Structure 1
Amino acid sequence: MNLVLLVARDELRLMRRNRVAVVAFCLLVLLALVAAFVSWSHQRGIAEQRARFQAHATEAFDAQPNRHPHRVVHYGHFIFRPLGPLAAFDPGVDAFTGSSMFLEGHRQNSANFGDVRQSSLLVRFGQLTPAFVLQVIAPLLLIFLGYGVVARERQQGTLRQLLVQGVSARQLIGGKLLALGAVAILIGLPGMIGFLLIAGQPGALAGPMALIAGGYAAYLALWSVLVILASALVPRSRDALLALIALWAVVVILLPRVAPDVAAQAYPLATKLETDIAIQRDLRRLGDSHNPDDPFFAAFKQKVLRQYGVTRVEDLPVNYKGLLGMEGEKLTSGLFDEYASRSFATQAAQSGLMDSFGIASPTLALRRLSMAAAGTDLNGHRRFLEQAEAYRYDLVQRLNKLQADAVTYADDTAQDAGADQRKRVSAQNWQAMPMFAFKPASAGDLTRAAMPGLWMLLVWLLIAVLALIPTARRLERGRK
């Protein structure tokens, strides 16, 4: 039998005899299965809850009586962000960004009701999901199972005997790595089974699913190599264990917690209060549609009169107040989009800086890959915000146009007893308004967004594997 396979078989037999290792392995497998079930159940409950709330919000919007269109503009409408099928595997930023938005005229609101604001602060550490188990806990088990695979041979004096009997250092390291790699496959198998069950829902995309599976496989392979490398470099098992735990604490726990703070300090994001004050200041500069002497809207009025060839707004074939509302919404929405673009640019800069920490932490590289492929990263949230704003603007402009076409200017400005009834339009008009339909990213978009994280992981893995070559030579020299 091949010497590499003999070494691997012997190492697996030793691991199997270690009751602590067997118990720890079984507990991790159980934890991965529980995490998959809990995460799937939690996300399914959230999806059903959001669908139910969306149905209630749509029903309430459609149930409005006959009324003036501009009152419907201020009545507003709620929309909820649907979850993708892979959100149960890796929820990403969903717990932090909010799940619903209130859409109304003249305002661009932010998303609300994130899980972090309504749950325990433990949510900030990490939710119990298959992604969390594989990213954080699985490497720790590999460390405890493999920290002594080579150092133990050196301490017990069997390393020199193996080398003298014809087992090369490369074969020894290869066999140890093969054994630990087999354990890594078994560790990752429950998580991947849960991933496949979760991804079997309608709407799951094969390309991103394969990318996620490949990324986690590379991540566990990397930790297997790092454990073998540390065990071969350090003379005593205890020292190897301490070094590996320190490495795990830094790259898995510390850096992913420090990176967001560093990014926030490097690219500070304006608070909501600061943004609201700045927007109100700029709105006053744009003009006041309610002031007949405002220069901008006075010029707009003359433009409309020339367009229709009349001298008074009363003679227009459409309601001037509806046209005024459309122009005002166009201006304010343009200003809102400008501030939103600035905020997105700052957040993108923060994300870019955080992604660069993947050079020092493979866990951050994996998180980038995992969230991007699952569609639960910041780009996924931005996609929802942009589509929500496009829907809000279209809805408000439809209502403004309804005011311009279906309500006469004379009725709109009348003050007599029956004026309120005359300026109302049929409720069938807003019942016919299109519903919000979120369009998720395509498989190609998700794959392209996740590829940088995969390449970073593969570079990590390549460097670690190459580092085994001089380590094997060092062991060979130790025989002489």
Structure 2
Amino acid sequence: MSATRLIARDELRLMARNRVAVVATLLLVLLTLVAVANSWAHQRSLADQRARHAHAAEAAFKAQPDRHPHRVVHYGTFIFRPLGPLAAFDPGVDAFTGNSMFLEGHRQNTANFGDVRQSSLLVRFGQLTPAFVLQVVAPLLLVFLGYGGLARETERGTLRLLMLQGATRGQVVRGKLAALGIVAILIGLPAMVGFVLIAGQTGSLLLSMLAIALGYFAYLALWAILITLVSASVRCGRDALLALVALWAVVAVLLPRVVPDVASAVVPIENRMQTDVAIARDLRRMGDSHDPDDPHYARFKQGVLARYGVARVEDLPVNYNGLLGMEGERLTTSLFDRYTGKSYAAQGRQNDLVVAAGVFSPAIALRSLSMAAAGTDFAGHRRFLDQAEAYRYALVQMLNRMQAEAVGYADDTAEDAGADRRKRVSAENWKAMPQFRFVGPTGAELARCALPGLGVLLAWLACGALLLARASSRLGDRR
């Protein structure tokens, strides 16, 4: 048996004799299993709740009686963002961004009812999910298990005895690292098993699942290397423990919470009230469809009359009010899209700053990878918003076209006693309206989005391995 294997075996045996270490490991495994069960149950409950509300909103929309199409434009409908199969492992930003939207004409609403606004403030610190346990809790346990691996040998003077017995510096370091790596695998395995069970129930996203598994095992391997590196660089276990706990506090707790605030300060975003005021101001400049003297809509009217070869709107083969509604919706939507694009660009720059901060914190890189591969990052939320807006615009324009083609202009402008009845169209039209169906990304797309975070983690791993190799060459030189 090689010296490396002997040293690894003895180190594992020493850990097994430490009752505190054994109990702590078992508690972490139990916590992981609880996190898996809790996250799965929570996400299952959310998915059922959203599906139930989505069905109720759809039923209410289709149950409308005969009415004027423009009334349906303002009646609107609710849609809900469905949860992806990997959201139970890492819910990402879903708890903060909201999960439902009210769609109506002339307005572009935001998602509402995020879990954070309806839950305890503890949700802001971190939900009990498998991702949270592996990102924050597991490294701390590895610190307490491995901080004395090499520092203890140096402090007690047993390192020279090992070397006198024929073990090289590299074999000693590799043996200690192998023992800690085995423990890291045992710690991460329950979460990965639960991850496979959770994700395998609703759909196969093999590539994204592999990206997540590779990222988390690389992260735990990195911590094993960092712990061994610090333990090889100090003279006593106490110093190693203090340095590693400080490193964990900064890298895994402090930076992941400070960096987003710094990014928000560097790239500010207008709040909802400021955006609404700016949009209202631009809408007034754009034109008023109810003003016959408005320059834009006067030109639009002349263009419609010329296209159909008539002199009056009353002579058009379609309802001019419906065409007017279509033009108004086109203009307002282009304005909404412009402001939304500015907001997306600012949020994208914020996210780029956070991802770049992964150079200083592997926990940030892992979090970016995990959310991207799970489809629960900002890009996943934006995907829902974009599809929701495309559906809203298509639905409103369909109703405006229905007004133009199914409601006569004379009836639409009449004010006699029976005019209201003549303006209505059959309720069968609402039942034939298309339903909102969110199209999720493929596993390959999610895995591709996770590559930047994975690259940063692998760079950390390579740098840590080089530093450990350098520290190994000087191991035992200091007295």
Aligned to 1:318: 318
2:47 is aligned to: 47
**Partner AA of 1:282 in structure 2:** D
Equivalent residue number for residue 459 of structure 1: 459
Partner SS, residue 87 of structure 1:
coil
Alpha-carbon distance between aligned partners in 2 of 1:54 and 1:235, rounded to the nearest angstrom = 62
Q: CA deviation at 1:164?
A: 1.4
Q: Hey, what's the Cα distance between the residues in 2 that align with 1:40 and 1:222?
A: 28
SS state at 1:214 partner: helix
CA distance, structure 1, for counterparts of residue 400 and residue 204 of structure 2:
39
Hey, what does 2:63 align to over in structure 1?
A: 63
RMSD: 0.8
Map 1:103-122 onto structure 2 (within 5 A).
Answer: 103-122=103-122
**Are 1:72 and 2:49 matched, yes or no?**
no
Residues 85-124 of structure 1 aligned to structure 2 (within 5 Å): 85-124=85-124
How far apart, CA to CA, are the structure 2 residues paired with 1:283 and 1:86?
A: 41
Q: Deviations over 1:391-432 (max 9, x none)?
A: 000000000000000000000000000000000000010110
Alignment partner of 1:347 is 2:362: no
Q: Distance in 2 between matches of 1:442 and 1:84?
A: 11
**In structure 2, what is the equivalent of residue 411 of structure 1?**
411
Tell whether 2:145 aligns with 1:131: no
Q: AA paired with 2:336?
A: F
**Matched residues in 1 for 2:52 and 2:277: separation?**
35
Mapping 1:417-436, distance limit 5 Å: 417-436=417-436
Query: Which amino acid in structure 1 is aligned with residue 195 of structure 2?
Result: F
- Can you list the C-alpha shifts for 1:262-314, whole angstroms capped at 9, x where unaligned? 10010000000000000000000110001111110011000000000000000
Which residue number corresponds to residue 253 of structure 1? 253
Cα distance between partner residues in 2 of 1:7 and 1:256 = 36
Q: Which residue of 1 aligns with 2:267?
A: 267
| Residue 218 (structure 1) shift | 0.2
The answer to whether the 8 Å contact 1:96/1:114 transfers is yes
2: CA distance between counterparts of 1:204 and 1:362? 28
- State whether residues 98 and 112 of structure 1, in contact with CA within 8 Å, keep that contact through their aligned partners in structure 2: yes
Specify the SS of the correspondent of 2:86: helix
Q: Quote the offset at 1:165 in angstroms.
A: 1.4
Which residue pairs with 2:155 in the alignment? 155
User: Is the Cα–Cα contact under 8 Å of residues 86 and 204 in structure 1 kept in the other structure?
Assistant: no
1:204 positional shift: 3.0
Structure-1 separation of matches of 2:476 and 2:361: 31
State the alpha-carbon separation in 1 of the partners of residues 49 and 476 from structure 2. 62
Q: CA deviation at 1:473?
A: 1.2
Runs of 5+ unmatched residues, structure 2: none
Match of 1:212 in 2: 212
3-state SS in 2 of match to 1:78: strand
Distance 2:336 2:442 in 1: 27
Counterpart of 1:79 in 2: which secondary structure? Answer: strand
8 Å CA contact 1:163–1:476 kept in 2: the answer is no
For residues 469-480 of structure 1, what are the structure 2 equivalents within 5 Å? 469-475=469-475, 477-478=477-478
In structure 1, the partner of 2:395 is 395
- Taking the aligned partners of 1:204 and 1:455, their CA distance within structure 2 comes to 24
In the aligned structure 2, how far is the partner of 1:370 from the partner of 1:201? Answer: 19
Instruction: Describe the superposition over 1:72-102 as per-residue Cα deviations: whole angstroms up to 9, x where unpaired.
Output: 0000000000000000000000000000000
Deviations 1:342-376 (A, max 9, x none): 00000000000011110000000000100000000
CA contact under 8 A between 1:412 and 1:419: conserved in structure 2?
A: yes
Q: TM-score scaled to structure 1, two decimals?
A: 0.99
Q: Look up the match of 1:22.
A: 22
Stretches of 4+ aligned residues off by more than 6 angstroms = none
* Paired letter, 2:93: V
Match of 1:38 in 2: 38
Letter in 2 for 1:172: V
Comparing 125-134 with 197-206, greater Cα deviation is found at 197-206
- Cα shift at 1:202: 2.2
**Deviation for aligned residue 1:447:** 1.4
Q: Distance in 2 between matches of 1:8 and 1:117?
A: 49
| Equivalent position SS for 1:127 | coil
Flag structure 1 segments of 5+ consecutive residues without an equivalent: none
**Whole-Å separation in 1 of the counterparts to 2:353 and 2:402:** 47
Question: What residue in structure 2 maps to residue 141 of structure 1?
Answer: 141
Once residues 445 and 331 of structure 1 are traced to their aligned partners in structure 2, the CA distance between those partners, rounded to angstroms, is 33
Distance in 1 (CA, whole Å) between partners of 2:469 and 2:167 is 16
* Residue 476 of structure 1, CA deviation: 5.3
Quote the residue 2:277 is aligned against.
Answer: 277
Report how far residue 444 of structure 1 moved. 2.4
Supply the distance in 2 between the matched residues of 1:356 and 1:298 (Cα, whole angstroms).
51
Indicate if the aligned counterparts of 2:154 and 2:476 stay in contact, CA closer than 8 A. Answer: no
Relative to structure 2, which stretch is displaced further, 151-160 or 319-328? 151-160
1:156: Cα distance to partner? Answer: 1.4
* Counterpart-to-counterpart distance in 2, 1:100 and 1:287: 31
State the distance in 1 between where 2:244 and 2:204 align. Answer: 37
Distance (Å, rounded) in 1 between the aligned partners of 2:346 and 2:472 = 47
Matched, 1:377 2:368: no
Instruction: Work out the CA distance in 2 between the residues paired with 1:226 and 1:382.
Output: 36
Length-normalised TM-score, structure 2:
0.99
**Structure 2 residue aligned with 1:446:** 446
Distance 2:84 2:138 in 1: 25
Q: Aligned partners of 2:451 and 2:76: how far apart in 1?
A: 40
Report deviation, 1:163.
1.0
Corresponding position of 2:201: 201
Q: Take 1:56 and 1:169, find their aligned partners in 2: how far apart are those partners?
A: 68
CA distance in structure 2 between the aligned counterparts of 1:477 and 1:263, rounded to whole angstroms: 44
- The answer to which of 126-135 and 153-162 deviates more is 153-162
Structure 1 distance, partners of 2:117, 2:60, is: 26
**May I ask how many residue pairs the two structures share in their alignment?**
479
Contact 1:150 1:176 in 2 (8 A): yes
| Equivalent position amino acid for 1:409 in 2 | Y
**Corresponding residue SS for 1:224:** helix
Is the 1:146–1:228 Cα contact (8 Å) retained in structure 2?
yes
**Aligned twin of 1:332:** 332
Q: Is the 8 A contact 1:373 1:447 kept in 2?
A: yes
| In structure 2, distance between residues paired with 1:435 and 1:204 | 25
Instruction: Render the CA deviation track for 1:418-467: whole Å, top value 9, x for unaligned.
Output: 00000000001011000000001122221111001001000000110111
Matched letter for residue 288 of structure 2: D
Identity level (%) = 67
Q: What CA distance in whole angstroms lies between the structure 1 residues aligned with 2:7 and 2:206?
A: 37
Q: Is the 8 A contact 1:62 1:430 kept in 2?
A: yes
Q: Distance in 2 between matches of 1:140 and 1:225?
A: 14
8 Å Cα contact 1:99-1:111 kept in structure 2: yes
What letter matches 2:350 in structure 1? Q
SS of the residue corresponding to residue 102 of structure 1 reads strand
Three-state SS of the structure 2 residue aligned to 1:88 is coil
